[in-house]
Amino acid sequence: MLASCGTSELTGKMANIDLNAKYTAQDVDDNNSKKNMIYTSDNGAQYVVTVTENLGESFGFDDVGTGDTGLPGLPQGFRMRVVRAVSPNGKVKQSFKVGKVGEAIYNEGGLITVARPGKSAGLVLAVVGVTGERKRLVTATDTGQASGDNN
């Protein structure tokens, strides 16, 4: 898995995601629209999450199909995996959620071109690190109901 590193240390295979081209090719009304999509956790469990459609399609989220009606939402305290990217001058920093652990941008690093309002050319960000999914256990509390635990 990609460790946190500077852009000069990214070598070998790299993924490239051009969000600017995707935004430009779509109708203005479709850009930034939210959609229910499927996040696949490291252990293969699937959850329905709401993400921006362009980002979901670009970062490995699957569409919800007719057979996916019983999938749960993310459990409380669960955080999805992300890639962190920065511009060459370090002034623009963004994080992007990644739908599957097998996505090249998550494992190999690469470049993400983001749209800039009012400009035709996108801004190229380099992936500088990743954060794996995190699960925070919810604190247990005594409900006062008899559970047989004698406490």
pLDDT digits (tens, 9 = 90+) for 13-27: 689 999 988 887 766
Q: What is the pLDDT of residues 106-147, one digit of tens each?
A: 999 999 999 888 788 899 999 999 999 998 866 666 666 666
pLDDT in the model for residue 41? 96
CA distance 151 to 141: 12
CA distance 49 to 63: 10
Q: What is the pLDDT of residues 3-54, one digit of tens each?
A: 434 333 444 568 999 998 888 776 655 567 899 999 999 999 999 999 998 8
Max Cα separation, the chain?
A: 68
Average pLDDT over residues 75-99: 95
pLDDT in the model for residue 151? 55
pLDDT in the model for residue 22? 85
pLDDT in the model for residue 36? 93
Contact 115, 19 (CB under 8 A): yes
Per-residue b or e along 103-134, where b marks 16 or more CB atoms closer than 10 Å to that residue's CB: bebbbbbbbbbbbeeeeeebbbbbbbbbeebe
Domain boundaries, the chain: 7-133
